[in-house]
Chain A
């Protein structure tokens, strides 16, 4: 079961900026950093952001992340058609002693 809450979808036109929120609690986002994954249709998730705002090699700087308290966000600037995907946040959870994932947000490029 997802413990982190995300909006089901968001949309924007090419070139716009969209932001995805992720809300958790004291045992996860309140105590640990957030990671973000991008899942293109029919493919495995890919790590997009880790430790709140660190981009793995190969991830463009159009993607940025932040965290404050028990909430986090991922922003995509200069939206492109190949950004259409589902995005999941994730964090370690002390109560579970495992990872919890967000409910997922589908980004639609209009």
Chain B
């Protein structure tokens, strides 16, 4: 079974530039999550999708971050404009059903450095 795929793996941009990350979840997984992990901290949930609808985006900085999952499969997360404090690893995860504690499968992440 293929895992969660993410691209790019690394990205370096200057502040105020835009950047986009892509995620392809495990086939058949209806729930998709984006997390931000700052160095030395645990992952923090940014947004959760159930199929192509948003379930929770309470911690997404909506003035600069946006995410979509148009066909209920792949998802993109965009930052525009980026700030220095956005430097982090952005993790995508998916699960079969949206139940608390349900096993979530994480991708390798995209490491973003904002200069």
Partners in one complex: no
Q: Give A contacts to B, CB under 8 Å.
A: none
